[in-house]
A and B are shown apart, each in its own frame.
Chain A
Amino acid sequence: MAATSIASKSIVSKSIYKSGRYANKRQFKNKLAQWLITLGGISVLFTLVLIFLYLLYVIKPIFASAEIEPIQSIETELSAKVFSIGIDELKELAYFIDGQGLINFYQIEESDFRDVGSKVLSQALLLDDVDNTKLKLLVDGSDKKLLIDNHNRIHLISPEFSASYIGDQRDIIPAITYPLGEESLVIDEQAEPIENIAFAMNDELAVFVAFTKDHRLIKTTFTAEDDFNYDPAYETQYQQISFQEKQVDRILVTPDLAMAFVQSGNKVFVYSLDDEDDVPLKALINPVGTTNMRSSAKELPTKELTSMALLSGGSSILFGNSQGEVTQWFEVATDNGREFKQIRHFEVSNNEAITNIFTEKYRKSFYTITASGEIGLFYTTSEADLWRGNLLGVQPTAFSIAPRADGLLMMKGQNLQLFSVENEHPEVTWQALWQEVWYEGYPEPDYIWQSSSGSDDFEAKFSLVPISFGTLKAAMYAMLFAVPIALSSAIYTAYFMTPALRKKVKPTIEMMEALPTVILGFLAGLWLAPLIENYLPAIVLLLVFLPAATLLTAFSWHKLPEKMKKRLPETLAPIILIPVLILAAYIAFTLSPVLEIHFFGGDIRQFITNDMGINFDQRNALVVGIAMGFAVIPTVFSMAEDAIFSVPKHLTSGSLALGATSWQTLIKVVLLTASPGIFSAVMMGLGRAVGETMIVLMATGNTPILDWSIFQGMRTLAANIAVEMPESEVGSSHYRILFLAAFVLFVFTFVFNTVAEFVRQRLREKYSSL
């Protein structure tokens, strides 16, 4: 080749000078072609790099931490204390409720109708019969606020926003609604002042838990006659909860109306609200208690419980203490029934008390605030420490998370300040993907892949461990099946077979590589899986029968008279063995039901599940191993055969001439020389097994479990992508994690293939030097 190109260059360069324009034109064409072809050649490399970079580009955002940036600050006419602030979904209108009983809406983002900072609406919160200026805000929910008036009656209000379109322009219109009607509500029959209260409601029920000035803890339930959304009419039930403490700091009610948390000092009482007639104490949590005793021995400052909040979904509760720690607790099934346990803790700040914890509505993120205005953003499931900083320099007088969790609104003096929050993928961290995570409701930390569910506040479980494990398991069983068959076939075909037979056999086996894997998968799922289930003993028998039958045939052939041996030479062994092996398999399958009746009580599947206690899936690793093994055999066979066949002939001739048998030559000379080639063949096969999609998709149940059992299925990276990609939302964490799975596959196979190719090239050079 090298000689050719040199020759061509010299000849071409001479011909340029021969004649004028025509030669120039030809020369130009030649150059142009060279450029284009080079470009075309390099585009192959470009494609591979593009795939690599694009996958990275999609994955990158999931590992980015959060960013919080100030975007707007407006001056308001706040004159008294601020009770509550909030913002609409599109972050256009912000509001605050002040001590005058007024709600004021301000434009905080540019709109087509108003300037930034203009007041849109200012309205008294309640109707005329109440003194609005004496109102107090007791519960500042993200969408519902609970106010108490001077008659110790309460009111629920909810600021709402609606969009109206004028042409193509959108206008956001604010309004106040009253979820339980405009009438005031009586929580305490005895009309004592209420010191602390919490509530939660759904369409039919509203539950209030309150602590009165005369130290009574009460539960008040409003049951809608129909549905609160249409009709605020209700029935009331008053209950007193047995409670001895003289002080209550905070109360929380879970959104599913199942539990109430009542904090008194460092103790948190958990009451069950499910029961209609009784409000039993369910548990007593001591979030700082155990550490307290130890630290007092060392005479360290004691820990105080300074804040608590419910995480999205209401299954977990967060406690903040005076030493800057936040702990997450939820109920866990233990031997003694369900108990609250501390799951994880976050070091939020150095010894500074956490005065407030705010949680996002739909995700498991939370913000912490300390007295000095230090703000932290965390995510529980992934234990991600997303952002820390001091945005205002002081503690904000009011704080609110935008409904879509993409912004923060804070009040500092008279200033309403809006910050953008970029926190798209808090649930993904490297640890959460690859390490055990303690998910809500699970008894212990575990590796789980469960990407979606019906509910909004579902805790997505993205552990790549079970599916990576499934990938390796499937590949391992496939290789266990494929490698012995492929290598023995390769050895025989390359070394012992006559050229005439080899010419037929090699393309036939290689034909298997061309078979679409969807067909192998379909046969595995619909034909092989039931077959194996019904004839499991036969499969085990085959492991013994096939080699035994082969050896028996070999021995009989050995004992044949010489004349017969000539007629039926050993080189025809593979052909001779075909009917023998088919017969052996037939016998194994006929014996199978007999064995089943005599040893396994008639049904081996029941025997395995009941007597041996092993779960048996119809579509299991055995089926995948065999089916994917078939897909891998031709890859390994073809490359290993090439490597063995191209071992230089003088090596074998030398060995044979020195008196070694052909088997000795094979083991000591041929295989040794070809071993790098065989290694690269196995690597290529492994690469293929790891990335195979359709067979695993169709031949397993696709359950992401961590179990080596041969009778259980698995879910692999590739199958997982095929199953979930069409349903994942573009740009979501799920979508990006699936890209990550593809990237892992890409890197995996890239390493295998590159190593295999290097080894092969080295081998080729070695052969040529021999």
Chain B
Amino acid sequence: MTAIQLAALIVIAVGGTVVVLTPEALRQVLALGIYGFGLALLFFSFQAPDVALSEIVVSAVGLPVILLASLRRIREQERSRGREEGGPERQ
């Protein structure tokens, strides 16, 4: 096992734990994106450049974008619901 492979494996182990333990959704999405980038590094170091290429775009761009859009929609809905009930407006 080369040093790069070992480093990539450690990055993945730490990154995955960070993603799971991040409490706030927005930060979690960012952590997930960075974790995906580490995963691409892992695939590349294990001689799977084809997989690494798709992984970069899918997990560092594609998935976070969908999650961010969904989060925004959910907040929008929560805010308008709070307004209807006359309660304090949530941020």
Q: Are A and B part of the same complex?
A: no
**Residues of chain A at the chain B interface (Cβ within 8 Å):** none
